[in-house]
Structure 1
Amino acid sequence: WTAADKALFETLNAMQAKVHASLLDNFKTYEVIQHLVDLVTECNKYLGQGESGDEASQPKNLLVQKVAIYVTKILRVLGVVQGNDVIGFGDGGGGSGASSKEDIAAPFVDALVQFRDQVRTAARNKAEPVSYLQECDAVRDGALAQLGVRIEDSTGASIWKMDDPAVIQKEIADKRQKAAEAAAKKRQGKIDKLVTDIAKAKQAMIPLTKFFQQ
């Protein structure tokens, strides 16, 4: 085996341990999904290395198959995969699998379609560029947060992770609360400055004779 073969095999073993621990810890499915996503990501990187054409770097079919079988097995445990296919989603027998996949995908597709409609409406109304950013934040903090999808913005491409919807929504609420408190503090600062400026103006309006009488 090459170093890449060993690395993927070790990653598979590590993810199997993590998935097992997450299932034992109150059946935290969002953690399980994230572990599977990480495993598939590493497997895709491994497959990409084989595109160089070098004979030694070609992916080991049995190793990739082992990863695919494991991912399918866990997805079947979670009810995502129907039927008895060892690898893949299968048809679930008589179309029931297709219905199940639609049920799973529906809320995510609904969120995407709703976002698309909002962007199209903003475009038709020739909205300001900031409106598009607001729509992006709205779908991030609204529909996707409710579905357990955490999106972390960065200077480059955004990063997404699966997490407990309640945790994500609490973080969003806390962030909004802090922003509101900061805005209120800023407004109060402006009010205090205005009061001070008015007092100074009134002081300046006092006749010089009365000023010395004070």
Structure 2
Amino acid sequence: MENPLMTTAYLLHLATESGGILYIMAFLLTVALGVIIERSWFLGRLIRKGDMLLGELSRLRHLDPSAIRELKDRAVDDPHGEILAVPLDFPEISDPHRLSELLEEAILAQAPHIDRRMWMLDTIVTLAPLLGLLGTIIGMFNSFEVLGKPGSAPTEITSGIAEALVATACGLFIAIVGLVFFNGLNNAVRLVIHQLDRIKVTLVNRMDAPRHAVQAHASVASAPLHGLTTAAAKG
């Protein structure tokens, strides 16, 4: 059975041969995994909560402040809750266009919180292969130094080249894993933004419908009176 100490010593040897690049790549992998885990949990929770809120909002027939406040309380400190707070904070707004602008302003304010730390994962995906290539080049320099030593065996050169390629392999591995999760998390961010846009449109529509209903009712109610007035004028 392989001795764990020998394995640790060999890994330390590889890191030294790469000029310390493998230490940096181990740090980048740790950061990438931390961002992936935290963002996956955060965005997954937002998506589930957004689906629940949209289902509740779609059952409303008008902009009911008490119902909106109840939904907002379920999404405290979340982007969805900040959007639902807009019609409650501005109850005097009666223009749907003005309400839509206020909701759009709230969405723009929440966007940086939704894709927070995504730039770190994007940077690691780009940086890891470059660092791996740099580590390989440094390892190749160390390997070719053997040629200047008298009596050097060819196996020393080939083994050194093989060890130098470990840095490139590690960089590609980090980049591949990071890219897969980066694209998936970007898709989750777009889905959350889409949910916020749907909440905005739903709130505006629920506000606009009652006003048109009142206007239509007023028009119907005034029609007989207008007819009587016209008949009286003709008489």
Tell me which protein shows more helix as a share of its residues: 2
Q: Which has the higher contact order (CA 8 A, sep 6+)?
A: 2
TM-score, normalized by length of structure 2?
0.26
TM-score, normalized by length of structure 1?
0.28
